[in-house]
Amino acid sequence: MIKSLFDKVDLTPPVLLVLGVLFLLLPLLPGEFPLVVGTEILILGLFALSFNLIYGYMGQISFGHAAFFGLGAYTSALILRPMIEAGQLGYVGFFLALAAAVPVSAFGALIVGFFCVRLTGIYFAILSLAFGELLFYIVFSWYSFTKGDDGIQGLMAPSVLKSGLVYYYFTLAVVVMAALLLWKITRSPFGFTLRMLRDNQNRTAFLGIDIRRVMLLNFVIAGAFAGLAGALWGPFQRSVSPALLGWHQSGVPVFMTLIGGAAHFAGPLVGSIIYTALNAYVTQFTTYWSLTIGLIILGMVLYLPGGLLSVLDGWRQRRRKAGT
Amino acid sequence: MSPSILEVRDLNKVFGGISATKNVDFDLAPGAKEAIIGPNGAGKSTFFALVSGYHRPDTGSIRFDGKEITGQKPHEIARLGISRAFQVSNIFPRLTVEENVRSAIQVRRGKAFDLFSRADMVGLERTEEILSLCNLSPKRSRPAGELSQGDKKKLELSLALAGQPKLLLLDEPTAGMSIEETKETMELVDRLNATFGLTILFTEHDMAVVFNHAQRITLLHRGQIIMTGTPAEVRANEQVQKIYLGGQA
Amino acid sequence: MPTDWGSLLIQLFSGLSRAMMLFLVSSGLSLIFGVMNILNFAHATLWLLGGYITFSIYTLLAGYYGVSILLLAPAVVAATLALFAIGWAIERTLVRRMYGRELPEQLLLTFALILIIGDLIRLFWGVQNLRIVLPIEPMPVLGSFVNPYLFFIIAVGLIVAGLLWWFLARTRTGKIVRAAVYSRDMVSALGIRIPNIYALVFALGVAIAAFSAGVFLPIIPIGLGMDMDLIVQCFAVVVIGGFGSIVGTFVASLLVGIVYSFSILIWPDGALAIIFVILVAVLIWRPWGLFGTEMRF
């Protein structure tokens, strides 16, 4: 009975539940450092979850997703900055600044997506990379508006939220709500329309679906959630810089999703835990982080292409084979 | 004479200088069950592709259910009620059998862009109906990519049915099937036509299947219609013997 | 904006020389994709590695024999051969395991190579930009001064382009490579060992890129991060020209190189933006490129 339940039930709720409890308990670890790493895991995890809407569910790979993360980060930073300078940062202004990132990133994704969804495969990948780099250069060189390479410094959250602990729980609350919303979307009829598109584009068109509209809507949703993640980043790191839009940042959700497993909703979150924790830990010993993560990616691609959570599928398959 | 559900007039399509469809006039009455035959390269698949909007005709017109559909996109034509089942099974390999059918039904019901319902709560009765109609219920939770060739074709047919079509285009529905599966599938086709009044147009290589199941047969050769008639008429026709049976056997 | 003929001419030469480099890097990228269906994200990173190796060998030689442009030749040749070997090894050990895998996994493998090679470069050469300074007299042209080395680069680029064309069009191996672009099955049906062809194409593509990096050292300092700027431009070139088409790559290189160098004159920050606009236009109007065939898209 239990065995057959294990075979049938969607593993996402238990995995999410375990992760949720771990995140709730994380501040019990001593020191400020786990809070910093934890907040980063959550923000980048949300970023990666939004990316996987395009990759795992729609079957296209975007190498420019950081553009929307960065757009969100800059939107809230540019709204927060004058309030902080005037010493008038309150909760309402702060929340509005975060919320504003969502429509701005969504709008950015609408424009970029309008072009990208005309293509698939490597052409989609190249075009998304090109647009990402284009937005990076715009932010980088528009000094009067974005302060260019200097970035925007001195960002913060208002009063109580300034505490690392409170900001951690605030981030946790936002990310949990966003993740639940994303999960709902992936299980909706639209979520299955995406899977159909991933599996067989021509057939989907024959069923009577305008493929480009599906891709565009999904691109915009993914951009909006990436923007929300980006908005949380500035007050956490106290600054934003053009690198947040660059290709290096676009690689982050790709790596996380690959490590955790793109076929599982929680995969990118698991990937974020491993990637971010490793990053925090490894960089204490060596400055060769790219080399380390590069070797890990190489190992994953060669030996565990489905990501860590695919181990669960392996168990299931063996049970099913043993059962019948 | 009852008005045709499908009305094709003077249809032409040229690929690289070769006429794949030439001056084709074709009518299909509602509730009919007909076959199109012809040797390889006769233009059967092109004809289906033109009717379902996958190719754009060079000249000519196609009317479906009283509406002009010439040059419309595949998804627009599908919405009007033409479903096409493919020769090479064309399914969603990573979704389960049930998810395949259920998702196709949800698309038909205009739920493709529904972000907030639960996919596993919409269109379940209809999913059950189609799964049991096509004998796929026992395999419902298998990933479609792992099915046998015959089961894939049945799923292909299920997907076409999920679109609640008025006209079903079947491109070699029994290709790759065993004798039992062929029988089972063609009985289903007969039932869909007789019980549900579905108009069906199919192509088929197996002449026994064609003569047993089609009410009328149209012979295509080099993109042109050679003749249309009952199975008995077609079998008796000398030209058919020469072009088709002679050319193939 | 300067409008005198001399500075326009300088911009033209600089654009042409840039086009040569773009062509030398992109042709390998395009060929590798055409033959193996692998998009090598790390192509420009291997180009960068070639530049660093050239620099080290040149510096070593210059330490013995003194600064001279002649010493660049053996350094470039040695680096080209080294990268040929490295390319061969990468294809044999890593890339070949990706054939038939899904596109994202292929992209990720070469993406991982960017990170690994980039950090290895930092490990061996550090983070500062490197440059070879050669004593070359500027040449007066129409009242402005041009570095005559630009002419040399343009000439070398044309010669290599010619050799590549000759290799693909006239030699038996080249014909096999071209056939492989159209049909892998046909080539293996001819009884030719496909794995060797794949390794050769990959190594050759990488070696030509490394060659161009070395030749350019006297006018462009190399540094970390340049590979990403270049790969994005090469993607633009290859997409505009059409994957697998050498002629298309050549024309697109000229287009991108010259547009780039003239847009720097008009709108210094917008050079890349203009190229992206061309890229987007081509992708939407003719996704298979100006010289590619629709079939392969």
The residue ranking higher by pLDDT, A318 or A236, is: A236
Interface test with B, best of A206, A209, A210, A218 (most B CBs within 10 A): A206
Contacts of A191 in chain B (CB under 8 A): 119
**Mutation to test the C interface, candidates A57, A126, A257, A296, most C Cβ within 10 Å:** A126
Q: CA-to-CA distance for B9 and C82, rounded, in angstroms?
A: 67
Q: CB distance from B245 to chain A under 8 Å?
A: no
Token reading at A85? 């300078």
Q: How many Å apart are CA A295 and CA A248, to the nearest integer?
A: 16
Asked if the Cβ–Cβ distance from B118 to A188 is below 8 Å, we say yes
Alpha carbon distance C185, C245 (integer Å): 20
Domain boundaries, chain B: 1-81+166-249, 90-164
Res. B245 pLDDT band, cuts 50 70 90: low
* Of A130, A138, A258, Cβ closest to residue C279: A130
Nearest Cβ partner for C283 among A55, A127, A302 = A127
**Helix (H) or strand (E) segment spanning residue A310:** helix A310-323
- How many other CB atoms are there within 10 angstroms of residue B118's CB atom? 12
Question: Thinking of the domain C5-296, which architecture would CATH place it in?
Answer: Orthogonal Bundle (1.10)
Q: Is the alpha carbon torsion for C77, C25, C247, C17 positive or negative?
A: negative
d(CA A233, CA A81): 14
| pLDDT at site A1 | 41
Residue A80, pLDDT above cutoff 70: yes
Which pLDDT band holds residue A76 (cuts at 50, 70, 90)?
very high
Rounded to an integer, what distance in angstroms lies between the CA atom of residue B129 and that of residue B120? 15
**A129: which residues sit within 8 A by CB, 6+ positions away?**
A63, A64, A247, A250, C232, C235
| Alpha carbons C147 and A35: distance in angstroms, whole number | 56
CA distance A54 to A195: 10
Summarised one tens digit per residue, pLDDT across range B134-160 is: 889 999 989 999 888 888 888 988 998
Report yes or no: B93 at the A interface, CB cutoff 8 Å.
yes
Strands B167-171 vs B59-64: parallel, antiparallel or unpaired: unpaired
Q: Which pair of tokens denotes residue A121?
A: 């495969």
Is the CB of A200 less than 8 angstroms away from the CB of B91?
A: yes
Sign of the alpha-carbon torsion through B243, B244, B245, B247: positive
CA atoms A282, A288, A289, A293: torsion sign: negative
The whole-number pLDDT of residue C43 equals: 95
Q: Do B114 and A203 touch (CB under 8 A)?
A: no
Contact between C221 and C135 under an 8 Å Cβ cutoff? The reply is no
pLDDT digits (tens, 9 = 90+) for A264-315: 999 999 999 999 998 888 888 888 888 988 998 899 889 888 888 888 877 7
Tell me the pLDDT tens digit for each residue of C117-126: 999 999 999 8
DSSP string, B182-222: HHHHHHHHHHHHHHH--EEEEE-S-HHHHHHH-SEEEEEET
Contact status of B106 with chain A (Cβ, < 8 Å): yes
CB C206 within 8 A of CB C95: no
CATH, range B1-81+166-249: 3.40.50.300
- Smallest CA-to-CA distance from B145 within C19, A125, A314, A195 is with A195
DSSP class of residue A200 equals: -
Q: Taking 50 as the threshold, does the pLDDT of residue B1 lie above it?
A: no
Q: What is the rounded CA–CA span in Å between residue A165 and residue A229?
A: 18
Over residues B15-24, the mean pLDDT reads 84
Residue pairs spanning A and B at CB distance below 8 A: 100
Bridge partners (DSSP) of residue B67 are B64
Flag whether B touches C (3+ CB pairs, 8 A cutoff).
no
Q: Looking at residue A164, what is its pLDDT? A: 87
Which residues of chain C make contact with A113, given a CB cutoff of 8 A? none
β-pairing, B59-64 vs B67-68, is antiparallel
What b-and-e string marks burial along B82-95, b requiring 16 or more CB atoms within 10 Å of the CB? bbbbbbebbbbebb
Q: Quick one: how far is CA C30 from the chain centroid?
A: 10
Confidence check on the interface: ipTM exceeds 0.90, yes or no: no
Q: Taking CB atoms and an 8 Å limit, are C116 and A258 in contact across chains?
A: no
Q: How far is CA A159 from CA A89, A91, A156, A207, C33, in A?
A: 9, 8, 9, 54, 55
CA angle C222/C226/C232 to nearest 5° reads: 145
Chains with 3+ CB–CB pairs under 8 A to C are A
Residue carrying the six token digits 């006297």:
C218
Q: Chains that contact B by 3+ CB pairs under 8 Å? A: A
Contact A195 B94 (CB under 8 A): yes
B160 touches B168 (CB < 8 A):
yes
* Residues of chain C positioned with their CB less than 8 A from the CB of A130: 232, 235-236, 276, 279-280
CA atoms within 13 A on the CB side of C268: 4
* pLDDT score for C49: 96
Contacts of C94 in chain A (CB under 8 A): 298, 302
Q: Which residues of chain C have pLDDT under 70?
A: 1-3, 182-192, 293-297
Q: Within 10 A of A2 (CB to CB), how many other CB atoms are there? A: 6
Which of A111-115, A307-311, B241-245 bottoms out in mean pLDDT, i.e. has the lowest?
Answer: B241-245
Residue contact C236–A130, C-beta within 8 A: yes
Q: What are A291's two structure tokens?
A: 């080399």
Q: Whats the size of chain A, residue-wise?
A: 324
A130 pLDDT band (50/70/90 cuts)?
Answer: confident
B53-71 mean pLDDT: 89
